[in-house]
Structure formats: structure tokens, C-alpha cells
A and B are shown apart, each in its own frame.
Chain A
Amino acid sequence: MNKGRLLAAFISVATVVFIVIGTFWPGPSAVAYAGGKSLLRPSSTPTAAVENLGDEIRLLAWEKAYSSLGNKAQFTEQEFEHDLTGYYLSLRTYATLESFDVRPLHASNNDAEVQIRLHWSSVVGAFVNTRNLRVVKNGDRWDVDWPLVKKPLVPPQVIAVNYLRWDVIDRGPGDDWGVQDVEAPHVRIVDMHPVQRAEGVVILGELLNEDVVPAYVSVRATLLAKNGSPIASEGSFDKISHILLPKQVTPFLINFPNATLSEVGSVRMGPLSALVSASADPVIEIENQRLNPAPDASLTGQLVNQSGQVVNIAHVLGTFYDKTGQVVWVADQYTDSALLPQSPVPFDVHVPEDLARKISSERTVIATYSVGGFQ
């Protein structure tokens, strides 16, 4: 064979070999764009079957995911999709599956139980969903039985609404909110203290709306060094309930990553308030609230929407106090499913282990988001 033919053969073969390597053993970027897939994972084990299902959910390949299920005759593809993305608009609807972990729980020759932890990213932060899946052998492959949670049905009913509402009349749509020619509502920080945590300094506290009108509130804190110079300035962001009705109290938490409390001489607090329209609706009741001790300390309970409208996302803010009534921690959680009228939705707010023993009481505040609802 002459040099030219040899070169042509080499280039052709090498190209094919490179493509084969890149396809059967793809790099991280290629795997990410293929939805975590390579060509080397048939559903020949229970774990592989669940991993394939996870990949398809991540790619939003609902048809493919549904057709791979062993118990698909029990529900429709649409029900399967809504079970994961929410029957009503909720945080799940706003979420994308970032990754998932698969853990085999037990297995026999013909069936197995595998746990899948779905790591969702949403616009307000990440959350995790755990499902235990039964996997059944079907010939030389394994099929997943999906544990579908049926759509919650709200019985037809009439709910009387009797709530307070405050309207603010401004100069028109061009009027910048927050610069009205009216006095700002009176708000007061009723508790505040800094604590040192591993991730930095944290300012905890509570803010009270002392006024008779609703207030938009936020809190800003500036750490000052011992010589009075500013170290850092941060705001409460979403670790606060920004709308306070008259006489309502909200906790707040402000993070200063990488700051050290020993370097802080003082803290300058800047509560901010402005007059806004507000409504007491929707009313969210908390049932079966319970503080679970360490280990795995948490605040659990159920939220019940007492109003007639769907609450799409609820934000649970828990304030934890020690025996002297001082705030020792503020923690929060967003519910990942919508709150239908009179339908309980569980919540589980994690509490740091080292602080759990100091907690003797707690209080919970709920902020809500409804599509097209009262702003």
C-alpha cells in the first residue's frame, strides 16, 4: 500500500475511532447535553432502569418516560407529567430537574425497590423530592412502577370571604411605587443580634409594623469595624415577609458570608418601610405544627388554605426562640405544591443541629404568591 492510501485509510479509521470513543465514552459536556445519557446503559438492572427514567424526566421526554413505566395502564401520560410538575401552577412547575441520586433499597430476582432523590432547581432555590420506586423484571429488562399521587380533588363548596383589604390610590401607572408623598408606615426592630456561623456572620431579628396601615418592609444591615468603618452591607432578601399588615411581626435573617464576628464593632440597622396596598387574604392556617428534636431537628406541620383561591407558592418562615424569648434562629422553606382551598400541604423546615437544643418555642409566618393575585 502506498503512502497516500495509507494516509487515507489512517484518517478514515482514526475519525471513526474518535467518533466511537466520543459516543460510547462521552465527555462531561456531551453527557450533560445528552441528558446524562451515554449509549452504554440499557435497563438491564433495577438501578439502570430508574436512572434511565430520571434521565428522561430531566430531558422532559414525558412520552418516553411514560412508555417505559411498568404500571402505565393505571394512569395517563398527562397525569404522570402533572404528578411531577404539579397539577396546578406551583414551584414544581417552575422547576427543572438538575440531577438525581438513585439508591437501591432491596432487590430480589423479580422485583426491587429503589429510591430516587430528585434535585430540582427553581427560581427561589433548590429543593429535593424523594420517591421510593418499585421496579419489576419484565423479560430481560426492568420496568419502573411509578407511585402516582392522584390529583387532589376539592369538593364543590362556597367559601365566604371576610377579610381586610387596604388600597392605596396613587397618581397613576407612571407613579413610581415607593415615592408617594405620604408618610411611611411606622415599623420597629423589636429584636436583633448577630451570631457567628461557619459560613459567616448572621444577623437575626424581628420587625414589627406598629402602624394601622400595611407596610412593605425590608431590613438592611451594615457591619461596622471597631474603628467605625463599614465592613459589609447586606439586605434580608427573601429571609423576611415583605408585606406586613398592621401589628404584624416578621422575622428576618441577613447573611454576611465570610465575615467574622470578632472583627465587628457594631451593626447599623436600616429598616425600610413604604405604604402599599395589601390584603389579609389568602388566610393560611397552620395545623399540627411540631418542633422535632435533634437529630434531624425540624419544624413540621401542615398549611391549610382557608380562602377560595389557589395559592401557588407558600413561603414558610420559622422563628425559633430560646427560654428567654430571644431569637436564636430563622429558617424557611418554600412549598413545592400549590395550596388548594381546604387541602393540607405539609412543610418541613430544617433547623441546624447545634441550635436545636437551645430552642424552646417557635413562631411561623407564611408569605404567599398567587398568579394574578393581589400584589
Chain B
Amino acid sequence: MKRTESVAPSERPIAMGLIVLAALAIHLPLLMMKLPLKSYDANFHIFFASHYVHHWFNPWNAKWYAGFSQATYPPLPQQWVAVISRLIGLDMAYMAVQLAAILLLALGVYRFSKLWVNPRAASFAALASVFLGSESFLVYSAGQLATTSAAPIYLNALPYLFEWVRYGKWRSFLKASVLFTAAAAAHHATLLFGSFFFALPVLALVLLDGRDGDRPEVERTPAPAFVLRTVTIIAIVGAAIAIVLLPFWIALIHYPVTQTPIPHPSRANYILSPQWGLNYFIVPYGALILALPFIAIRGSMVARLRPLLLGFWVAFLIGLGGTTPVAHLLLGRAFEVLTMERFSYWATLLALPFVGLLAAELIDRFRMRAVCALTVAAAFTCALAVAWSTFRPADASNFKVDSVASWLNRDGHDNYRYVTLGFGNKIARLAVLTDASSVDGEWNSGRMLPELTRYGAGALTSSKYFGEPGLDALRAVLRHADRYGLKWVIVRDHYYDPLLKFAGWRQVDDLEDRTITIWSKDGVPPAMPVNAPQIPPHWQGILWGILPFGSSILALLVIFIPDGRRRDRPVDHFLDTHENLVSGSVAS
């Protein structure tokens, strides 16, 4: 059968400058409005950053869980927030780092997509990343700064990985190593799972390259060289990450996360629980759902796209949470610890080269009609994901915690610890504002108090939403109020009043038109430091303050080293080389 050629990529790719302008036009106003502050985790990251502002070289944070180590969470985006906050304050610094991540993502998607598709399709993929539903969902609803910061760094590293393994370019080796390390310093899970979803397809692409019989001038990478280069970069990057995140690994080894798993709706079956399907599938994917058949067909038909398709497929299936048994089978116990929305995020990133390809072909064929349809689809996807933070806000009641913070900060109240009830994710904002220490917190993997780790519940402030485990944890903590110097319970949900009354707590004050009540227990001794064995030694604090942030500075420096002579890659002629397409396909 005669192969049908696609329309030749006669038009030039969209200039990166325009894509950046599009990203600025869409996201800058939203970030200037501080929309991410309404998300689940934005205040959590700001809280971590606020600690780095005051204690750059001491990861021990006494404000949550009666003391916990921030070395249990890779620090890079939060440290950048801390640094920039010196100029523009914590909130705007968060927005600035988030914006940088969004811009880097467009660049990363472009560079990553160019490995698979022609530059024009890659530029469409980069433009699509600006409108990507999963990106907006993570930025504006989930507030996952670490994930959305690490992924673009990682995507930018992958082309260097390709160039190193394919051609043995040492400059690429250096850049890939530094960028991978910086990505790990931003979010370790991205690097771990990214290796399977992103790096393995890229390595497979190296093997596939040069096996095209139509292009004998393209040389193959010798197998020994491939193995040696792959092993070398794995060893070097592994060692670099081990050193840069050394306090993190030490904390993980000494105090592994053994606590009872906490339920998360991303592990639901999205068909049996359609409300979660809407939240974790429809919103992050948006119009990209319409492209799924194209991804499956084109990814299967074109040999060099198959690794990318397989990476996407596995990430897609895991991102479906409990809708399929795949996530549970592949992740094991980690399925009960990780949240699944990040897998959907990675799946959508892996889908973008296909989306770029589809967009290019549609525009070539249908011109303005395709442009209009794609624009509407992209706008709808982005708008839905951005608006989702309003349709389904992380915290339905928006209230200020300033009065609570000032109450805690006055008259020696901060000599004792406190816990809030009914504050939702405002506890991170309160922790930023107050000097007092709490026994609660939002970083479940960092907590060590046995009363909290024994039960499968998250933050005490939302105990009732975790059912019996949540209430058991709350009662266990209140029972040991004396042990932790827990004198104040600040209540915004009267659901908890009976427990406090029968357990011997007394209402002593109220704030905000009596919507917030303060309960106290008599005879509680002042708070004393606890968890002393978990406090990282000083040398770890020094490492934590220097190496992760230093890795990002190094990445910024090496990225400006010129790439040298550009090698001609078959990807530049990708559409000339795709195979087995038949008449009637989208490309025909």
C-alpha cells in the first residue's frame, strides 16, 4: 500500500516569544489576583517558605506537630519563594515562582515535544500547555507548587538526556545531570515516576532512532555506548540527588512513613463516584479527552511514537485511581499513600506532543475552522480548570484568621500549643501569622506524634471528615493535652463542642462575631520541645540550606553554556518518516 504523506510542515512553528506572551496573558492576571491562595496546598507551601525566611539553615519547624522536620519535603520551590519574598512578600513570591514554573513548562513541553514531533507540532504542544486543564487544576485548585515546578525542569532535562545518550555530548550530559538534580530538589516523586513515564520512552527513542531504513544517513547509537552512557548518567544523577537531598534520605531511613494510610478521593472509582470523576478526570483532561482516540491510533501506528504512547498509557491508567486495578497493582502500598491527580498531570504532559501533532494536522487541513475549534476547546479546558477552584473550592467558607493569630500572639498565649477545629486548610495561613505552636498540621508524612500516625486521618482540624479514625485521633491528642502543652482549642465548627465540654475544656473567649470560640484546659503546663530525636543536626541544616538551592543556581548557570554544533535529528523530518498511515486517517 502506498504510504499517504501528511501535509508537509511548510509553515513555521509558533515563536516561543508568542507562546510566553500567551502564558502571561492567561496566567499573570490570575496569579496577580492570588487565585492559588484558594487552593488546597498553596498556604502549605507558603508556610514552609515562611520558615525558610526565618530559619534558612534549620529545617526543624516547631510550629506544626509540636515540631517536625521540613527536611522531609524537597525544598526548592519553597526556598525560592522565601528568597523572593524578601522583595515582594510571601504571597506574591509564591505567585512569582508559580508563574516561572508555568513559563518553564511551555519551554519544557516544546523541547520535549521536539524529540517526538516536528518543531511546528511541538510549538502547538507548547501553546497547548498554557491551556492545559491539569496544569490549571494543580495550580489553582490543588496548589501543588512542587509538582508543577519539578515537571518543567524535568521536561527541560529530557532533551539533554536524549542528546547525551544518542550522541554522547558532554555538554548535554552536564546539563541533563544538573537539571535532573534540580528537579529532584523540587519534587522527588516527579523524578522517581518521571523516570518511568518520561525517561524510559526517551531512552527507547534513542534505540529506535537510526533504525529507519528510509534514512540510511542517520547513524545508530551503538549498543555498548547506549548502555555505558545510560548507566553513567543514572549513576551520576543518582549520586547527585543522594547528596543534594541527603537530609531527606536520612530522615526517610530513620523515620520511614509507616503511618496508617489516609483516604483520598483520587483513589475512588470515577464511574461509581462520578463527582470525583469530574474532579480528577473531566476537569484535568478537558477537551484533551477528545484527542484520546487520536493518541491511541497515531501512537500505535508510528513506531517512534510508541514509547511515548506507552508512557502516556501507563500514567493515564494510574491517574484513573480506583477506576481500574492498574494503579493498585503497579504501586502496591504506595497507592494508599500517593495521590493520583499528579499521574493524570504527567499523562497530560505526555499527551501534549500528540496534541501538537493533531493540532498541526487539523490546521493544515481545515485552516481557520480548525483554529477556531481548537481555540474554543483550549479556552474551555483552561476556563473550566481555573473556574473549578470557585465551583468546588478547597475551603467553602472563606474567612480570615488574622484575629486568631493576634489572639495567640498576645498575653503569653503562645507559651502553650493550640489546635484548631473547623479551619480547613486555613491552618497553614494561621501558622504563618502566629508565633504559637500547634499539634496539628498539613504535612502528614512529616508528623511523628503517635496519636496522629496511629489513625488513618489527616489534619485534626478536619477530624470529622475522616470519620471514626479522625475523631479517634482528635480524642487521643486532647487526652494528652498536658503532655504537649496543648491549652487552646480554637473552634469554628460547633460539631466539636460536646467533646470539649465532656472532656473538661471550657470556653474562655470568642472572636469574629462569636463565629470562632476559644476553649481552654486548666492545669496544662507550658509547651516544651518534643520529638528531640528527630531534630536534624546542624550539619544537615547547612546542607539543606545550600545544596538544593545551589542545584537550581547551578542549573541556571550551565543552561547558558552554548550547545555547540546542532546535530541533525530525524525528528526534524518526522512527518516525512512516519509509517504505515493509511488513507482516511486524520493525517491523510
B207 to chain A, nearest CB (A): 16
Pick the contact of A174: B265, B313, B411 (CB < 8 A).
B411
Say yes or no for A23: interface residue by CB 8 A criterion. yes
What are 11 A-B pairs at a CB distance below 8 A?
A19-B323, A23-B269, A26-B322, A30-B267, A30-B268, A34-B269, A123-B496, A124-B498, A237-B503, A369-B498, A375-B507
Q: Are A177 and B508 in contact (CB under 8 A)?
A: yes
CB contacts between A and B, total, < 8 Å = 171
Could you tell me if A177 and B520 are in contact, using CB atoms closer than 8 angstroms? yes
Q: Are B411 and A274 in contact (CB under 8 A)?
A: no
Partner of A30, one of B269, B297, B464, B522: B269
A298-331: CB near B (< 8 Å → 1, else 0) gives 0000000000000011010000000000000000
Q: Is the interface of B mostly helix, strand, loop or mixed?
A: helix
Q: Are A237 and B300 in contact (CB under 8 A)?
A: no
B471 located at the interface, meaning its Cβ lies under 8 Å from any Cβ of chain A in the complex: yes
CB of B169 closer than 8 Å to a CB of A: no
| A5 contacts partner chain B, Cβ-Cβ < 8 Å | yes
Closest to B509 in A: A173
- Which residues B467-500 have CB closer than 8 A to chain A? 467-468, 471, 475, 478-479, 481-483, 494-499
- How far is it, in angstroms, between the C-alpha of A373 and the C-alpha of B317 when the chains are bound? 54
Sorted nearest first, the 3 A-B pairs with minimum C-beta distance are A30-B322, A33-B268, A178-B522
B482 touches A235 (CB 8 A): yes
Complex Cα distance A39/B323, Å?
13
Given the interface contacts A177-B522, A235-B482, A375-B506, does A29 sit within 8 Å of B263 by beta carbon? yes
Instruction: Answer whether residue B560 sits at the interface, using C-beta atoms and an 8 A cutoff.
Output: no
- The answer to whether B239 has its CB under 8 Å from any CB of chain A is no
Considering the complex, give the chain A residue whose CB is closest to the CB of B469: A121
Binds B, one of A45-53, A68-76, A90-98, A148-156: A90-98
Q: Which residues of A contact B (CB under 8 A)?
A: 2, 4-8, 11-12, 15, 18-19, 21-23, 25-27, 29-30, 32-34, 37-39, 91, 94, 96, 98, 121-126, 173-174, 176-178, 216, 218, 220, 233-238, 240, 242, 272, 274, 276, 312-313, 315, 334, 367, 369, 371, 375
Taking a contact as CB atoms closer than 8 A, the residue among B272, B302, B508 that contacts A4 in the complex is B302
Residues of A within 8 Å of B326, CB to CB, are 18
Contact of A19 among B324, B336, B467 (CB under 8 A): B324
Contact between chains at A233 and B522 (CB < 8 Å): no
Give the shortest distance, in Å, between A309 (CB) and chain B (any CB). 15
B:254-275 near A, CB below 8 Å: 263, 265, 267-269, 271-273
CB contacts (< 8 Å) of B411 on chain A: these are: 174, 176
Partner of A38, one of B272, B325, B520: B272
- Distance in angstroms from A315 CB to nearest chain B CB is 5
Report which of A4, A25, A96, A238 forms a contact with B502, defined as CB distance below 8 A: A238
Shortest Cβ distance from B502 into A: residue: A238
On whether the beta carbons of A123 and B325 are closer than 8 Å, the reply is no
Contacts of A11 in B (CB 8 A): 296, 300, 309, 313
* B523 in contact with A121 (CB, 8 Å): no
* CB atoms of A276 and B503 under 8 A apart: no
CB distance from A40 to the nearest CB of B (A): 11
A29 CA / B507 CA spacing, docked (Å): 38
Q: Across the interface, which residues of A come within 8 angstroms of B265, CB to CB? A: 33
Docked CA distance A173–B520 (Å): 13
Chain B residue, CB-CB nearest to A93 = B495
Cβ 8 A contact of B503, one of A126, A220, A238? A238
> B322–A369 contact, CB under 8 A?
no
The answer to whether B506 touches A30, judged by C-beta atoms less than 8 angstroms apart, is no
Measured CB to CB, the closest approach of chain B to A372, in angstroms, equals: 10
A32:B263 contact, CB within 8 angstroms: yes
- Apart from A216-B522, A313-B502, what 18 extra A-B contacts exist at CB < 8 Å? A7-B306, A8-B300, A22-B322, A23-B269, A23-B271, A29-B321, A33-B273, A123-B464, A124-B498, A176-B520, A178-B520, A178-B523, A235-B479, A235-B482, A238-B499, A334-B502, A369-B497, A371-B494
Set of chain A residues within 8 Å of B522, measured between Cβ atoms: 177-178, 216, 218, 272, 274
User: Smallest distance from the beta carbon of B339 to chain A beta carbons, Å?
Assistant: 11
- Chain B residues in 8 Å Cβ range of A176: 411, 508, 520
- Contacts A15-B317, A26-B269, A29-B336 given; indicate if A94 touches B495 (C-beta within 8 A): yes
B residues less than 8 Å from A371 (CB atoms): 494, 497
A94 to B328: give the CA distance in the assembly, Å. 34
Contact present for B313 and A126 (CB under 8 Å): no
Interface centre among B263, B269, B273, B317 (most CB of A within 10 A): B269
Closest to A270 in B: B523
For residue A367, give the distance in angstroms from its CB to the closest CB of chain B: 6
Cα distance A26–B323 in the bound complex, in angstroms: 7
**Cα of A19 to Cα of B265 in the assembled complex, Å:** 17
Point out the residue from B269, B468, B479 that lies within 8 Å of A126, measured CB to CB.
B468
Instruction: Say yes or no: A122-B471 contact (C-beta < 8 A), given A7-B306, A313-B498, A369-B498.
Output: yes
Convert B290-316 into 0s and 1s, putting 1 for each residue whose CB lies closer than 8 angstroms to a CB of A: 000000110111110010010001000
In the complex the two chains form, is A29's CB within 8 Å of B268's CB?
yes
* B357 to A: closest C-beta gap in Å: 15
Q: Do B323 and A237 touch (CB < 8 A)?
A: no
Give chain A residues whose Cβ lies under 8 Å from the Cβ of B464: 96, 123
**CB under 8 Å from chain A, chain B span 508-563:** 508-510, 520, 522-523
The interface residues of chain B lying within 8 Å CB-to-CB of A236 are: 504
A163 vs B345: C-alpha distance when bound (angstroms): 65
Assess whether B580 is interfacial by the CB under 8 Å rule.
yes
Give chain B nearest CB distance to A313 CB in angstroms: 5
For B488, the closest partner residue in chain A by CB is A176
Cross-chain contact of A29 among B322, B479, B509 (Cβ < 8 A): B322
Return the chain B residue nearest A18 by Cβ: B324
Beta-carbon contact of B468 and A22 below 8 Å: no
Cβ contact within 8 Å between B263 and A242: no
* Residue of A91, A218, A334 contacting most chain B CB atoms (<10 Å): A218
Q: Among A34, A37, A235, which residue has the most Cβ atoms of chain B within 10 A? A: A235
A38-B272, A272-B522 known; A19+B320 contact, CB < 8 A: yes
**Nearest A residue to B271 by beta-carbon distance?**
A23
Q: With contacts A4-B302, A15-B317, A126-B468 known, is A34 near B325, CB below 8 A?
A: no
Quick check: A23 and B272 within 8 Å, CB to CB?
Answer: yes
What are the residues of chain A within 8 A of B297 when measuring CB–CB? 8
**Of A7, A96, A121, A177, the contact of B506 (CB 8 Å cutoff):** A177
Query: Roughly how many angstroms separate A331 CA and B125 CA in the complex, as a whole number?
Result: 67
Q: How far is the CB of A41 from chain B (nearest CB, A)?
A: 12
> CA of A274 to CA of B504 in the docked complex: distance in angstroms?
12
Q: Does B501 contact A (CB under 8 A)?
A: yes
Contacts A33-B273, A34-B273, A272-B522; A4 near B300 (Cβ below 8 A)? yes
How far apart sit A218 and B271, CA to CA, in the bound complex (Å)? 51
A176 CA / B263 CA spacing, docked (Å): 38
* Selected contact of B509 from candidates A121, A122, A174, A218, CB within 8 Å: A174
Measured between beta carbons, the chain A residues less than 8 angstroms from B321 are 29-30
- Whether a CB of chain A sits under 8 angstroms from the CB of B167 is no
CA distance A371 to B496 in the complex (A): 12
Nearest CB on B from A221, distance (A): 11
Query: Do residues B520 and A94 form an inter-chain contact, with CB atoms below 8 A?
Result: no
Q: Give chain B nearest CB distance to A141 CB in angstroms.
A: 21
Q: Does B276 contact A (CB under 8 A)?
A: yes
Is B324 within 8 A of A12, CB to CB?
no
Closest Cβ of chain B to A100, distance in Å, is 13
